[in-house]
């Protein structure tokens, strides 16, 4: 098993058993069979580890959803129902981590957390939109975003009620209830004009890496923040941590300038792209640079 994944899963196990605040980094290190120093080489703080646990849970939920969307044997409306079940279960599992992150993170980490939450929210909203359009075709076009927002609101309230009142709510029944009401809204003969017309949501429907739909500039800021965070954990490299973080900061400054110098950006990327752990981030940056060129900056 991958070292970071092993640490994340050990942390999840201990957080569930003892609570986040009662679990120490030493206990997590012992659970993984490593020294506390080795643990800090991978995660600079318990807050950083909590952030990765939250993201890991979300990514697992999205993988489950992806298996549903690519299964050609499932009818579109059934795909939507199953996706709603997966989302209900996934959000419920991650809710406590979300609350902890919202209240416990220091300011520098919150700057990393906010765009992550926006990306996750946009990702799920777009998946809902795609599934609704596949299930109901042209009948839903004008009202698709009204329905997406309704789904999100209903799911949120059911989850809050389940947590606060400590009652059993079956995800399958929530999904069936939502589908019943979507059917009613779409098949009603007299429809009001859309509250959220599609042109208002163009930023959610445009290009995004791996379906993570936020603006290109926000994506770039998030990727550069990941470069900085990963640079703090890199060992056994000819390039020092401070050099890598400084390079990411220079990239950020250059990309924010009115007239970014492409030769300098390319030189900075070339400097860091040979670091294996940063390979994915550099690839995403180059894709986003192509998008900026296409958009005219």
**Band of pLDDT at residue 210, cut at 50, 70 and 90:** very low
pLDDT for residue 205 is more than 50 = yes
Whether the Cβ atoms of residue 281 and residue 226 lie closer than 8 Å to each other: yes
Q: Where in the chain is the domain with CATH 1.10.10.60?
A: 1-43
Distance of CA 203 to the CA centre of its chain: 17
Q: What's the confidence (pLDDT) of residue 55?
A: 84
Of 55, 58, 65, nearest to 92 (Cα)? 58
What's residue 207's pLDDT? 38
Determine what percent of the chain is predicted with pLDDT higher than 70: 86
**Model pLDDT, residue 208:** 43
Is the pLDDT score of 259 beyond 80?
A: yes
Residue where the block lists tokens 């599992």: 93
Calculate the average pLDDT of the chain: 81
Among 104-118, 132-146, 208-222, which is the least confidently predicted range?
208-222
First to last CA, the chain: 41
User: Distance (Å, rounded) from C-alpha 28 to C-alpha 22?
Assistant: 11
Alpha helices (runs of H) in 137-191, residue ranges in sequence order: 144-165, 171-187
Q: What is the rounded average pLDDT of the residues 167-176? A: 91
Q: Is the dihedral of CA 26, 27, 29, 33 positive or negative?
A: positive
* 212, pLDDT greater than 60: no
Q: Lowest-confidence range among 100-109, 124-133, 137-146?
A: 100-109
**Which residues contact residue 133 at a Cβ distance below 8 angstroms, ignoring those fewer than 6 apart?**
140, 141, 144
pLDDT at 213: 41
For CATH 1.10.357.10, list the domain ranges present in the chain: 45-211
Instruction: Tally Cβ neighbours within 10 Å of residue 62.
Output: 19
Model pTM above 0.75: no
Task: Identify the pLDDT of residue 174.
Answer: 93
Report DSSP state, residue 198: G
CB 281 within 8 A of CB 227: yes
pLDDT in tens, 18-39: 888 889 999 999 999 999 998 9
Domain 1-43 has CATH 3.40.50.800: no
Q: What is the largest CA-CA distance in the chain?
A: 68
E strands along 172-268, which residues? none
Q: Which three-class secondary structure state does DSSP give residue 204?
A: helix
Range name among 157-161, 237-241, 244-248, 285-289 with the lowest pLDDT average? 237-241
Rounded distance between C-alpha atoms, residue 161 and residue 150, angstroms = 17
Given CATH 3.40.710.10, say whether it is the number of domain 45-211: no
Cα–Cα distance for residue pair 19/16, rounded to 1 Å? 6
Binned at pLDDT 50, 70 and 90, residue 126 comes out as confident
Tell me how far apart the alpha carbons of residues 91 and 136 are, in angstroms, rounded to a whole number. 25
Q: Is the pLDDT of residue 236 over 50?
A: yes
Residue 296 makes CB contacts below 8 A (sequence gap 6+) with none
pLDDT level of residue 220 (50, 70, 90 thresholds): confident
Mean pLDDT over 144-150 rounds to 91
Report the pLDDT averaged over residues 57-74.
Answer: 81
Rg (CA), the chain: 22
Distance of CA 115 to the CA centre of its chain: 9
């Amino acid at each position: 098993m991958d070292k970071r994944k092993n640490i994340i899963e050990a942390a999840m196990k201990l957080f569930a058993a003892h609570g986040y605040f009662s679990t120490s980094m030493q206990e997590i290190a012992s659970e993984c069979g490593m020294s506390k120093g080795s643990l800090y080489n991978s995660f600079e703080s318990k807050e950083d580890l909590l952030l990765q646990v939250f993201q890991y849970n979300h990514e697992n939920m999205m993988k489950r959803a992806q298996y549903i969307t690519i299964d050609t044997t499932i009818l579109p409306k059934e795909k939507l129902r199953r996706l709603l079940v997966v989302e209900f279960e996934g959000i419920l599992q991650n809710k406590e981590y979300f609350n902890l992150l919202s209240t416990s993170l220091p300011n520098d980490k919150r700057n990393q957390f906010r765009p992550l939450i926006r990306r996750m929210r946009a990702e799920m909203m777009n998946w809902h939109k795609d599934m609704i359009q596949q299930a109901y075709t042209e009948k839903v076009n004008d009202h698709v975003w009204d329905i997406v927002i309704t789904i999100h609101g209903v799911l949120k309230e059911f989850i809050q009620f389940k947590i606060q009142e400590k009652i059993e709510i079956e995800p399958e029944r929530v999904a069936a209830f939502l589908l019943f009401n979507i059917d009613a809204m779409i098949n009603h003969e007299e429809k009001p004009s859309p509250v959220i017309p599609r042109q208002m949501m163009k930023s959610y429907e445009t290009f995004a890496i791996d379906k993570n739909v936020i603006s290109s500039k926000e994506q770039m800021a998030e990727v550069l923040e990941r470069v900085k965070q990963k640079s703090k954990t890199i060992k056994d490299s000819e390039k020092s941590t401070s050099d890598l973080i400084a390079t990411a900061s220079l990239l950020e400054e250059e990309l924010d300038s009115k007239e970014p110098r492409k030769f300098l950006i390319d030189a900075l990327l070339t400097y860091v792209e040979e670091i294996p752990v940063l390979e994915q981030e550099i690839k995403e940056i180059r894709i986003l640079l192509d998008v900026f060129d296409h958009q005219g900056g």
